[in-house]
Amino acid sequence: MTRCLLPLGTCLPAFLLSFLLAACSDTPAPGGFAGLAASSEAEDGFRQPRPGDTIRLPEDWGPHPAHRIEWWYLTANLTTADGVPMGIQWTQFRQGLEPREPDDEPPAEQLWPLESAWMAHGAVSFNGRHWFSERFARGDVGHAGARAEPLRVWLDHWQLMEAGRDQWQLEAAGEGWAYNLTLLPSDRVVRHGDNGFSAKTEGGQGSMYFSDPDIAMEGTVTIGGEPHSVSGTGWLDREWSSQFLRSDQEGWDWFALRLDTGARLMAFRVGRGDNAYLSGTWIDPAGVTSALGPKDLVLSPLGLRDTGGGRIPDRWRIDVLPEALTFTVTAPEGSYWNRGAYPYWESPVTVSGDASGEGYMELTGYGAP
């Protein structure tokens, strides 16, 4: 399976881009995994993040056209006015086809340029059911794009945008669902890894990666024509790179957890077995962050759920060794496949063990119905 450096759920697979480009233009599509991985910065012009690179805000909420791949990725644990849990996801991805310096003007729209392709995912999880939609667009012709100030990330009518001082608005709709939500970003932006450089292999491949794990949210989610007033907390990831995963790194398991103690945990495992690479970030209740390396984490599946064609590890044990803490992470009943061009599992979770809490889990590489 061809995949980007980060979760398959959160990047454009090369075969998908090939399909999109073939439909849009005579421009040659990028090759498969081997072709993409073989190209170097000197050959293709895309920049690759490295240790020592830094996060700059608010600029880095905006696009990075000098890098090949990037995404904005929001998950949220919400509750209806009746106290029923609900989960939502919104993600937008960009894959560059030609690099461009951030300060350079984009090509004129009338030239119908093809320097980037965009994809957006939206999902709602409620009462054991899951709704998902997927959209595509080409960049630089008005259908999709991003900017930092004022913040706006959009694909057609789906958008995350600044809507006042320290306030954002999220709007998206698919078949059978829609949401219109107000977001209040926190001042708790977390830089993962080495001051924002997050390694994904022992050899040092990686991405720039930061998160706001405590975004207060409220608004309306409509399901099947019925509006629900909701409120809760979101976790927004921001990530960019120019590298793709090695072909022997099959699968991705990612967790973003908010604990009732006030602590937060991001943890992921890239690959399985001897090829697995583990990393994460521990945020204590005071907001102090600690980078977690492969020797600091243990991620252990506890059981498999038959979802009608794909078996998913729906319960996990997570050991955070430096903190001497153990958590059990459990997905609710139901099937939470995002059935797009590349299916992956995206579900809310509850946390028990040394602390209780909630969060989200993304799993790829297990096969889908």
pLDDT score of 144 more than 70: yes
Count: domains in the chain: 1
What pLDDT does residue 174 have?
97
Phi and psi dihedrals of 357, rounded to 5?
Answer: 170, -160
| Mean pLDDT (the chain, rounded) | 86
Predicted confidence band of residue 112 (pLDDT cuts 50, 70, 90):
confident
Residues spanned by the domain of 286: 8-364
Instruction: Tell me if 196 is assigned to some domain.
Output: yes
The stretch 159-180 carries a mean pLDDT of 96
What does the alpha-carbon distance between residue 367 and residue 272 come to, in Å, rounded to a whole number?
Answer: 14
Enter the tokens of residue 20. 């999109």
- Contact criterion met (CB below 8 Å) for 130 and 334: yes
Enter the tokens of residue 37. 């991985």
Q: Residues of 19-45 as b/e, b for ≥16 C-beta within 10 angstroms?
A: ebbeebeeeebbeebeebbebeeeebb
Q: Who has greater pLDDT, 110 or 10? A: 110
What does the alpha-carbon distance between residue 198 and residue 185 come to, in Å, rounded to a whole number?
Answer: 22
Helix (H, G, I), strand (E, B) or coil at 163: coil
pLDDT score of 235 more than 50: yes
- Contact criterion met (CB below 8 Å) for 196 and 53: yes
Q: What percentage of the chain reaches a pLDDT higher than 90?
A: 69
CB proximity list for 308: less than 8 A, separation 6 or greater: 335, 369
Chain-centre distance of CA 325, in angstroms? 26
What does the alpha-carbon distance between residue 177 and residue 126 come to, in Å, rounded to a whole number?
Answer: 11
pLDDT score of 212 more than 70: yes
* Residue (of 132, 257, 238) closest to 191 by Cα position: 238
The stretch 269-288 carries a mean pLDDT of 92
Tens digit of each residue's pLDDT (9 = 90 or more) over 8-19: 334 444 434 443
pLDDT score of 296 more than 50: yes
What does the alpha-carbon distance between residue 202 and residue 200 come to, in Å, rounded to a whole number?
Answer: 7
pTM over 0.85: yes
Instruction: Tell me if 320 is assigned to some domain.
Output: yes
Question: What is residue 332's DSSP assignment?
Answer: P
Q: Who has greater pLDDT, 243 or 267? A: 267
Tens digit of each residue's pLDDT (9 = 90 or more) over 260-274: 999 999 999 998 887
What pLDDT does residue 173 have?
98
Tens digit of each residue's pLDDT (9 = 90 or more) over 59-108: 999 999 999 999 999 999 999 999 999 999 999 999 999 888 877 777 77
Enter the tokens of residue 285. 């209740």
- Contact criterion met (CB below 8 Å) for 329 and 313: no
What pLDDT does residue 309 have?
63
Instruction: Tell me if 369 is assigned to some domain.
Output: no
The mean-pLDDT minimum among 158-162, 216-220, 310-314 falls in 310-314
Instruction: Tell me if 32 is assigned to some domain.
Output: yes
CATH of the domain at 74: 2.40.370.10
What does the alpha-carbon distance between residue 267 and residue 168 come to, in Å, rounded to a whole number?
Answer: 27
Count CB-CB contacts under 10 A for residue 204. 10
The stretch 104-126 carries a mean pLDDT of 86
What does the alpha-carbon distance between residue 236 and residue 89 come to, in Å, rounded to a whole number?
Answer: 10
Predicted confidence band of residue 192 (pLDDT cuts 50, 70, 90):
very high
pLDDT score of 326 more than 70: yes
42-46, 310-314, 320-324 — which one is most confidently predicted on average? 320-324
H helix runs in the chain, sequence order: 14-24, 33-38, 41-44
What does the alpha-carbon distance between residue 106 and residue 115 come to, in Å, rounded to a whole number?
Answer: 9
Predicted confidence band of residue 25 (pLDDT cuts 50, 70, 90):
very low
Predicted confidence band of residue 279 (pLDDT cuts 50, 70, 90):
very high
